[in-house]
Structures are given as C-alpha cells and as structure tokens.
Structure 1
Amino acid sequence: MTYLQWNKILFLLLTSFSLLAQSQKKNLSQFSYDELHDLYFANPNNQELQLQCARAYLTKANKENITIRKAKANYQFALLYYDKNPNKAIAYLDSVIKYSLNTNDKYFPASAYCEKADLLKRQFKFKEAMANYNLAEKVALKTNTDFYYNVLNFIGTTKSEDLGEYNEALALYKKCYNFYKTKDVRSSQYSYYYQDIIFGIADCYKSLKNTDSTAYYNKLGYNESKSTKNTKYQYLFILNEGANQLLKKNYKAAKDSINKALPEIITSNDTGNILASYYYLGKTYDGLGDKETASKNFIKVDSIYKKNKEISTEFIEGYPYLINFYKNKGDKENQLKYITVYMEIDSILEKNYKEFNAIVREEYDTPHLFLEKEELIRSLKNDKQKSYWGISTLLLVSISIGCFGIYQQKQKNKYRFRFEKLINQKEISNKISINNTQNEVEIENVSKTEIGIADELVKQILEKLDRFEYKKEYLQANISIQTLSATFKTNSKYISKIINTYKDKTFIQYINDLRIEHGIEVLKKNPKLRKYTIHALASEFGFNNAESFSTVFFKKTGIKPSYFIKELEKLENK
C-alpha cells in the first residue's frame, strides 16, 4: 500500500484566511471573530499567539453566549493539542460537538467527529473511530453534501490503509468518484479531492492485485494531476504504478517508475511514501537478482522505521530477507540485529492490530525467532570467551536444538496425524439429508418430560434444522439463536434445548462446527479458495474475523487453517 496522509484536509476546508495587516500590539479582545480566526491560522509556527487567539475567541463567545462560536473556539484549542496531547485534544473536540449539535453549521460537528476519529485511529481504537466517522457521515449528509463525500473518503482510507478491507473501501471510493464526476474536477474546489479519490481506487485495486484496473486509474490520476499541476499526486501515481509493475514482475519498468518518483517524494518530505519507495525498490532488485542492492534498500526501510517507529504489515517483509541475507554471509551481528527489530515489530503488531500480523507468523513464527536470536547471542558471546567455554556453550546449544528438534518433530507428527484424519474422513455433507428419519428414532429415545417440549414440536424444529443445514444457512454472518428462532417462528429456548439434547452441543458450538465442517470440505475440493487470505476465508465461512475463525478451526481439528491449506497444496502437488 502506498501511503497517503490526508494532513488535516479539514484544516484546509476551514482555513480560507488572509494575513492580517493590523499591528499585533492591538488588544486581541478588540478583534472580531474573523480577525481572530485569521490571525490564529496565519501563525501555525507561533503556538503562543495561537493560544492567545483561541482564548480571546472563547472569551468573546462566552460573553455573547453564541454556541457555534464556543464550538469554533474549542476547535482551535483541540488543534493546538492535536499532536502533543491527543486525549486533551479529544476532550476539546467533545466540547466542539456539544456546542455545535443541531446548529446546522456547514462543518461542525461533522469535522470534529472526523478529527476525533483520526486521533482514535492513532491509538488503534478502530471501532470507536469508525463510530465517530459514521456520526460525521450522518450530520454532513444533512448539512454539507461536499463534506459528506470527504467523510466517505476518510472512512474508505481507514478501511483500506488500517483495516485491510479493500473491497469495502473500493465501494466507498467509487461512490465518491461518481459524485465528483458531476463536478468541474479541474477547478480548485474539486481537483484535489477528485485526484485523492482516484488514488484511493488505484491503491485498492493494487492491494487486490487487479493490475489492469490499477494501471487504468494510475494513468487517469496522473493525467488529471498533470493538467492541474499537482506535482505531489503526479509522483504518487508514478510510484503507485511502479508498485503495480512490480506485481506484474516487470522489474525494469518498476525500477524506472520508482526511481523517477523517489527524488520528488524525498523533496516533499513524505516519510511514509519514502519508506514505501525503498521497500518496493528492495523487492524490485530482488526480482532482478541483485540481492546486494535489494538488501541496501531494505536497510533504508529499517532506518526510517527506527526513526519514526511506524510501519505497516506490507512493508515488514524486508526483515526476513535481511535475516537470511546476513545468515548466508555468516554475519551473525547483523543477523541478530534484524531478528531483534523484527521481533519488536511483531510485538507491536500483536498488541495493536492482533489479527494483522499474519505475515510475521508465516515468514518466521515467534518460537523460531526466539530460538535463532538466543543461538546468535550465545554464539557471539562464545567468540569472545575462551575455547573451553565455547565448547561447553556449543554443547548446550546442540542439546537445546536437539530437544527442540524432537519437540518440533513430535508436534509435526501430531499435526500430520490430525491432517490425515481430516483428509480420510468421509464427506460431512453426505450425512445431511432433508428427509432425515434418524430424528424420529432419537425423539423416541428422549422422553417428553425430560426437556418439556411436545414431541410434535421437537420433530418440526429438527426438520427445520435439517433444512437449515442442507441450505447452508449457517454461513450467514452474525447469525444468532434469536434470528434463527424468528426464522423458525418459535421460542429461542426451545431451539436451545433441542440443540443441546439432540445435537449434544450448545448453539454456538453447533453453528461453528457446521461452518468448520463445510470449510474443510470446500477447501479439499476447491484449489482457488485456498489462495484466499485467512481473513477472506473467515468471511466466506460466516465468521466475523480471521482470529475467531482460526481459533474455532483449531479447537475443532487440532490444527490451524493455514497449516491445513499448506498441507492440502503439498498433497495436490504430489
């Protein structure tokens, strides 16, 4: 993903100002609201003066008791604390929302909701951030159509760049794109936002590996930005097309595009896209077989990460490359260095994103990283000690590796046995039949008094459950016992009791088992489905996220879905 920071687009919307000619010696209490506003935004590098302006603005608003003016004063305070004290900024934004609700102002409280959402995203509170964006969307739809589409853009950016929900983001971007197509997209009012949307669409298509559509929108965006002399976007579209050519394995074209864009991106001090450029260059040089230059570019990615402590899951793939690169060179110090950084990133992603650290798990699982790190530390210490200490340590390492190897082999055998058991079991769907007569026998074996439900009603609900299983309605997301009882037109307690008695499971176990059993069968039969991400498979099988899908799959089968898919691929290749 190519980074695109919106850099306070709301700030741009609210700051149509001119520099004041009045003497700064003039008492701020005598300034009008517009004069205080203009003076505040004309001095972004003078926070003391901005603070004085905000105080004067609020004093005037309180004295005249004008709520929308109170809101705008609090907004100025919020911007002052935006970077240095986010929680204080959020508190001020809450005041903006309180004072501007139901005022029908063109920008408030919608912009305050958006700014608050951005601050919550920085704290990795994505659920709360999305709730604030949705509130902004509802308000802007009533008060400011143009700003409504800006809000949709912010939501699309969050879904794409933070949550990895590219299809959902794409739908929002397309909605904005169709709106802007009705406007003069080369005017100063709309050109920036139109090009921003085109970039979002191109970037989503790239993340979805739809290279033809990516190329189309990159070209469209480049032509639009060139026509309006928007240099920043010209080079972002060039960079994005370089990444697109990398996906196509057109390494020379990728290198040319990235090298063309990089100097301008460095000049504009766009840190996120500088990191992205070096990462793409690393991948490109690796594709060209130049491992030395590839590693130099991945080292630049690392240096930017160390300075800013920000990196996304897409750009961490350079670390396994550097670890192996230095391992092959016998450079233990650098090998240890990049293992340490890689594990640090893994820990951050685990804490902040939880389900978004699949790349780390695939490339190097955590136990492997710990083991290799400890071995390197011991090895480097041994080089500085006497030989007999070295020999003793090597023996310990060998024993540790041996024990770990035995443990790993046992685990491997255990997983293999579980995998073969899944492969050899009969197809589960064959057991399901609408005309299942077994239920009649089971009803006879459970007395009416035991569960307190009439036999006829039990039979009806069991038949409905058979149809429910046969039609695979359990794949619907967010299904609950309440929604199922509404569909069956019966009491949820009856369904719960019958599933507990006749299926010998809780409702949740029943639904999850059906989903996993279905998933196992379709993954066996459908090689294309095995190419899906775990997140996509989770959605396909009715789960809300990759984490819950993996947990339920492991609980049911004793192996992770990623292992099951990998072994299926091996089996098919054989």
Structure 2
Amino acid sequence: MKLSFDELHNLYFDNDKNTAKQISYKDAYIAKAYKENNTVRKARGYYLTALLYYDSDMNKAIQYLDSVIKYSTGTNDRSFPVAAYCEKADFLKRQFKFEEAMINYKLAEKIALQTNINYYYVVRDFIAGTKSEDLGEYNEALNIYKECFRFYRTKNYRSKKYAKNYQYIIFGIANCYKSLKNIDSTTYYNKLGLQETKMTNNMTLHYYFVLNEGANQILRKNYKAALDSIYKAFPKINEYKYTGSSLSSYFYLGKAYEGLGQNKNAVKNYLKVDSVYSKTKDITKEFMDGYPYLISYYKSIGDKENQLKYISKYMAIDSVLQKKYRNLNTSLRNEYDIPRLMSEKENLIESLKEDKAKSFWGNGILFLGIVTVSAFGFYQFQHKKKYRSRFEKIMQETADKNFQEKENDTLKNSKTVAIKTDDIGINEELIEQILKKLNSFEKEKGFLKPNITIQSLSIVFETNTKYLSKIVNAYRNKSFIQYINDLRIDNALENLKKDSKLRKYTIQALALEFGFNSAESFSSAFYKKSGIKPAYFIKQIEESLKYK
C-alpha cells in the first residue's frame, strides 16, 4: 500500500520512541520526494533526518539542516527554510556559537517576514530568548518581546493557534523584568501570565509563572511568600522532567532560606543545585550564587575540606563559563571576585598541608584510607555477581512491597495484643494507642524528619521512652534506631526506583532528602538494609533502563 507524504510524516512522529521505524518512514518519505522530484518534500525529508540526530550528533544534524535550506530556499514555503534556520541556530547555541546562531535567526527572520508573518514573530521570540537567557542583553530582549506582545494582542490570543506563543511572550517579558530587578513590572506580567494560562488550561506554563513570582518575591525580601510559591510550583514542574526547572527551584529555595537566616535549609538546597549540576554539567551565571554561600558556610564551621572543595568547584565552573561565553558575559569574573578566591584556595591548601604534616597518624590514616579504598575496589570486583544478585532481590522485594505490607498489617492486627502485654508488662489499651501512632507515623513519613530520637518521638506520642522502646522491640522486632533507619531506607529504595530526578542527586543530597545527617550514615544504613551501596543501586537502575 502506497502512503502519502502526510501519512508518512504522521507515522514518523507517532513512533518517536522507535528509531528504527522513524528511519524507515523518513527514508520512504525522501524516496517518494525524489521519485516525484518534489523539492519542498525533499527538504522536509531531510528535516526529519536532522531531528534524529538532535541528541546524538549535532554536527551531523546541522549538515542535514543545510540540505533542507538548500532544497527549500526560494520555494516560498510557509515553513521552510525558516524552520531549518531556527533549528540550526538552536544547535549552534548548544555549541556556544552564539554569533553564528544569531546570523541564522536573522536569515530565518528575513524570509519569514515575506512568507509567513506568524512564523516571523515566532523567530523574533527565539531571538529575544537568546538575548535574554544566553547573552544577558535584557533590555534588547525586552523590546523584542514587547513588539511580539503587541502583535499577539491584535490576534485572538486565547485561541489554540496563538495562546501558547502569546503566553511564552508574557513569560519572557516577566523574566526580563525580573533580571532587571523591576519588581512591580515582573509581578504585573506574572499575574497576567497566570490569568491567561488558567483561562486556556495551560497548566504546564502556569506553574512556571508561579515559580517566577516566587523568585520575584525573594527580590522583594518576602521570603515566606517566596517559599509558598516555590513549594506550590515545584511538585508540578518536577513532573515535566526538565532538569533546569529542578535546578532553578532548588536555587530559589536556597535563596529564600538564606534570606530567612535558616542556614541548614539554605545549604541543603544549594547542595541539591550542586548535585544536579554534577550530573548534567549544565548551569548558568544566575544559579552560581549558591557556591559563595556554601564556601562561607563551611568556613564559618571550620570545615576546610568542604571549603576547599566548593572554592575549587566554583572556580572550575567560572572557567568553563568564561571559555564558553568568551566575551559575551564580560561581567561574570568581576562579579564573583575570582582572584580573591584563588588566594583563599592557596591559603587553604597550605593550611591543610600543615595540618597533615603535624600528625604522623594523619599520614598513617591517609595511607590506610588508600589501602582500604584499593581493597574495597578489589572486593567490589570479586563480588560483582553477588552484588547483582542482591540488587535483583531488592527490585523484586520492592515490586511486591504493597502486597507484603497488606499481609503484614493483617497479621499485625490479628495478633492478640494480650499475649505481648504479658511479655512487656504494658497495659493493652496503651499498647494499642502507641501502635496506632506508630502506624500513622509510618504512613505520614514522619521518619523523614532529621534528628529523630526516641526521646523526641516519645514526647510527640505523649508517652515515655521506656514504653516506646519496648513496643518497637516487640511489635516491629527492631531496636528504635534500626526501626527508623529501615523505614528511611525502604522509602529511599522505593523513590529511587521511580524518580529519575532523585537518581541525579549526590549521596550527600540523598542523605538529606531521606532524613539522614550525612552521606556516611545514609550509606551505612543503606548497606545494612540492602547489602549494597546506594551508588551501586542507582547505577544498576540506570543501566537496566537502557535496555527497556
């Protein structure tokens, strides 16, 4: 059966997760275009080819886009070569070739002005976005956004044809005003964006406006209002699986807590920013502010190792951004006072050297640590199969978790309390009350709060530590510390399986996420419960997903 161009086009996009099928459909599309000697269709076929290399080979994608431009130039098509110039510009931006990207946007702009006025304003939006987000030219970007805003206001801007483009323009204006610290104008356009997204049910963009206003409230120093907006937006934005959104959300949470003087919460969120960056190697100038805070914090508590760590990381990021952006962000180095940090870094290195030289045992411990790490590496190699077996067992156990929990609850409730009442010497009614509170504590995930002790939970339960300890021992068959740690690790196993964002965190950030005070205590509890380390568990999940 022969398929039309439109049918092949639709089948290509309907199979976006099946590359083999997409290749077969685009090949059929191109073959048909050559057979009919249809120049525009040849261009569209090569455009489909270029999209296949979007994440794997940018240079090859650009080559195919050049073919699109070659075949579609002069055809007066409403979409090409404008779309090809825009896609090429996007690839060039990802390679930090901003001048070349702008040249391609300008070529697209010139053609669209003659062939498709609606597309012309889409290209203008792309240009404004590049000037704002990449080049820091906020005033120029704002002028372009307002030009686009005036155009869309002459249209039916709540119709399906124009609504999304119009709302993205509003967001661009709000974002520029925020960067220029024009607080009132930012709030005005954020409110307009919230109104428009709600009217058209565009809830994806709706919560970006909520987050943006949260960031704006930080500029107003309304830190509690900022937290309210950010926490309202974050769960929704997190569903969209866009890494940049997580990074910005954590950053603004850090800024809000910093403003409130809640150092530990600020550090916790800045560490999550660093965790996301460590995985993606993607960060912009705006979100670097957390590193000076981490440096100052670790300096204030006398933690020279972490102080040195974040000075080094901060300077490395600065170097990368300076190299990538060359002369486009000339203010970056001056703002962050890198020469001062270089001096501080050298002093720290010397200080740490002196500390180690003073102690013979320091060198001995260092040597022992190297030997231990080497031995552990050998142990890991020797026991690879055993670890894999434990991983598979955990995956199976967590898959059956809901069923097992129901079974366990039934058994727990069916056991006569009276039998254990005699064993532990506590009134039956009191046992039932505390068990109900324990069940509620588990269901509401109270165990994720840091620094839980048997003393603090006894106060919450309105009982004493002796009774609580005995009941946990008798009815959970564990010591209190093991009980809390096992709940946290079970929660960690379940969430790491299903949440790809969590798997990008550092072990330190995961420790804080699941209620532990340090990476070491989290890793230790994780290993005791599962028999494997968290890093190994995360790695195996990621590898197993590659083959699905």
TM tier, smaller: 0.5 to 0.7
User: For 1:163 and 1:377, how far apart are their aligned partners in 2?
Assistant: 35
Query: 2:290 is matched with which residue?
Result: 318
1:179 is matched with which residue: 151, 154, 162?
151
Deviation at 1:307, TM superposition (A): 1.1
2:341 aligned with 1:376, yes or no?
Answer: no
2:248 is matched with which residue: 268, 273, 276?
276
Structure 2's unaligned 5+ residue stretches are 364-548
User: For 1:105 and 1:145, how far apart are their aligned partners in 2?
Assistant: 12
Q: Runs ≥4 in structure 1, deviation > 6 angstroms?
A: 388-391
Pairs within 5 Å for 1:79-158: 79-158=51-130
Partners of 1:349 and 1:357 within 8 A in 2: no
Q: Which amino acid aligns with 1:348?
A: V
Partners of 1:74 and 1:96 within 8 A in 2: yes
What SS does structure 2 have at the residue aligned with 1:349?
Answer: helix
User: For 2:97 and 2:241, how far apart are their aligned partners in 1?
Assistant: 27
Q: Which amino acid aligns with 1:361?
A: N
> How far does the alpha carbon of each residue in 1:442-479 deviate from its partner, in whole angstroms, 9 at most, with x for none?
xxxxxxxxxxxxxxxxxxxxxxxxxxxxxxxxxxxxxx
Partners of 2:211 and 2:233 within 8 A in 1: yes
2:292 aligned with 1:292, yes or no?
Answer: no
2:206 aligned with 1:234, yes or no?
Answer: yes
Identify the range of structure 1 (380-389 vs 163-172) with the bigger mean alpha-carbon deviation. Answer: 380-389
> How far does the alpha carbon of each residue in 1:114-150 deviate from its partner, in whole angstroms, 9 at most, with x for none?
0000011111111111110011011111111111110
Deviation at 1:232, TM superposition (A): 1.2
Structure 1 residues 196 and 357: CA distance shift in structure 2, 3 A: same
Query: 2:380 is matched with which residue?
Result: none
Query: 1:51 is matched with which residue?
Result: 23
2:147 aligned with 1:190, yes or no?
Answer: no
Query: 1:350 is matched with which residue?
Result: 322
User: For 1:91 and 1:303, how far apart are their aligned partners in 2?
Assistant: 35
Q: Which amino acid aligns with 1:280?
A: Y
Query: 1:364 is matched with which residue?
Result: 337
User: For 2:138 and 2:341, how far apart are their aligned partners in 1?
Assistant: 31
User: For 1:286 and 1:278, how far apart are their aligned partners in 2?
Assistant: 12
Partners of 2:76 and 2:115 within 8 A in 1: yes
Taking structure 2 as the reference length, the TM-score comes to 0.64
Partners of 1:153 and 1:172 within 8 A in 2: yes
User: For 1:377 and 1:76, how far apart are their aligned partners in 2?
Assistant: 53
Partners of 1:317 and 1:359 within 8 A in 2: no
What SS does structure 2 have at the residue aligned with 1:31?
Answer: coil
Q: Which amino acid aligns with 1:266?
A: N
Q: Which amino acid aligns with 1:188?
A: K
Partners of 1:159 and 1:165 within 8 A in 2: yes
What SS does structure 1 have at the residue aligned with 2:221?
Answer: coil
Structure 1's unaligned 5+ residue stretches are 1-25, 392-574
Deviation at 1:287, TM superposition (A): 1.1
Q: Which amino acid aligns with 1:50?
A: Q
User: For 1:289 and 1:357, how far apart are their aligned partners in 2?
Assistant: 32
User: For 2:142 and 2:51, how far apart are their aligned partners in 1?
Assistant: 30
Q: Which amino acid aligns with 1:219?
A: K
Deviation at 1:41, TM superposition (A): 0.8
Query: 2:533 is matched with which residue?
Result: none
User: For 2:351 and 2:22, how far apart are their aligned partners in 1?
Assistant: 57
User: For 2:358 and 2:285, how far apart are their aligned partners in 1?
Assistant: 42
Q: Which amino acid aligns with 1:115?
A: E
RMSD between aligned alpha carbons? 1.8
Pairs within 5 Å for 1:374-523: 374-385=346-357, 387=359
Query: 1:162 is matched with which residue?
Result: 134
2:275 aligned with 1:303, yes or no?
Answer: yes
Q: Which amino acid aligns with 1:177?
A: F
User: For 2:194 and 2:92, how far apart are their aligned partners in 1?
Assistant: 32
Query: 2:192 is matched with which residue?
Result: 220
Partners of 1:313 and 1:357 within 8 A in 2: no
Partners of 1:285 and 1:291 within 8 A in 2: yes
Q: Which amino acid aligns with 2:338?
A: D
Deviation at 1:77, TM superposition (A): 0.6
User: For 1:322 and 1:360, how far apart are their aligned partners in 2?
Assistant: 18
Structure 1 residues 357 and 320: CA distance shift in structure 2, 3 A: farther
Partners of 1:320 and 1:364 within 8 A in 2: no
2:232 is matched with which residue: 245, 260, 263?
260
Partners of 1:202 and 1:215 within 8 A in 2: yes
Q: Which amino acid aligns with 1:133?
A: Y
Partners of 1:382 and 1:389 within 8 A in 2: no
User: For 1:84 and 1:363, how far apart are their aligned partners in 2?
Assistant: 34
Partners of 2:230 and 2:249 within 8 A in 1: yes
Deviation at 1:371, TM superposition (A): 3.4
Deviation at 1:359, TM superposition (A): 3.9
Partners of 2:43 and 2:67 within 8 A in 1: yes
Partners of 2:315 and 2:338 within 8 A in 1: no
Q: Which amino acid aligns with 1:363?
A: Y
> How far does the alpha carbon of each residue in 1:303-349 deviate from its partner, in whole angstroms, 9 at most, with x for none?
11111111111110110110110011111221122112111101111
Structure 1 residues 390 and 306: CA distance shift in structure 2, 3 A: closer
User: For 2:242 and 2:92, how far apart are their aligned partners in 1?
Assistant: 22
Q: Which amino acid aligns with 1:101?
A: T
User: For 2:300 and 2:226, how far apart are their aligned partners in 1?
Assistant: 27
Q: Which amino acid aligns with 1:149?
A: Y
Query: 1:37 is matched with which residue?
Result: 9
Deviation at 1:244, TM superposition (A): 1.0
User: For 1:335 and 1:33, how far apart are their aligned partners in 2?
Assistant: 60
Partners of 1:117 and 1:130 within 8 A in 2: yes
Partners of 2:46 and 2:65 within 8 A in 1: yes
Partners of 1:346 and 1:357 within 8 A in 2: no
Deviation at 1:388, TM superposition (A): 7.8
Deviation at 1:233, TM superposition (A): 1.4
Q: Calculate percent identity across the aligned residue pairs.
A: 61
Query: 1:243 is matched with which residue?
Result: 215
Deviation at 1:385, TM superposition (A): 4.5
User: For 1:221 and 1:362, how far apart are their aligned partners in 2?
Assistant: 32
Deviation at 1:181, TM superposition (A): 0.9
Query: 1:534 is matched with which residue?
Result: none
User: For 1:244 and 1:112, how far apart are their aligned partners in 2?
Assistant: 36
2:38 is matched with which residue: 52, 61, 66?
66
Taking structure 1 as the reference length, the TM-score comes to 0.61
